[in-house]
Amino acid sequence: MHGNRDFLLGETFAKLANITLLKDPSVISYHGHSYLLMHGDSLCTKDDDYMAFRAMTRTPEWQQKVLSLSLKERREYASSLRQKSQDMTSLKAEDILDVTPEEVINKMTEYDVTTFIHGHTHRPNTHHLTINNAPAKRIVLGDWEQQGWYIKITGTQLSLKHFPIPALTA
């Protein structure tokens, strides 16, 4: 599933890397349970600036324009976008940067699931909810700066796990 920094990767890359790109959102069934998987950025509906940026970057015209740049130009552009994002994020209230609770409930209801897994906000946690008088949970994966995150399923139990990412050496 695409995230903020890899949404330009396509089927050619997926084939070469021997991976399957999941659509955002995707519902996965495993041992009789359905899990809603989303990147999570579309849940941050109070962040108007980000939502506008997201809409722009998902257009074929914008993507083609960026992909037509040289690799050096793309890296410079990505770096400038990342810096601008960090600058803007530092000025925003925490509730604007997090998911909108109503949107979480809307999505879980729309897809008829009681377990929702997403990233983007990178605030790893398991949130216990009640939706339509039934227990539900939202699991948030952390970022992949210092460690990687995954969900381990044992029987019907889900647990949020992480592992260290070794530093890259030249």
Name 63's Cβ contacts closer than 8 Å, sequence gap at least 6.
8, 57
Tokens of 55: 């809409």
Query: Which pTM does this prediction carry?
Result: 0.85
For residue 138, the model assigns a pLDDT of 96
Confidence band for 164, pLDDT divided at 50, 70 and 90? very high
Q: Rounded to whole angstroms, how far apart are CA atoms 143 and 139?
A: 13
The residue count for the chain = 170
For residue 170, the model assigns a pLDDT of 66
Q: Rounded to whole angstroms, how far apart are CA atoms 117 and 106?
A: 14
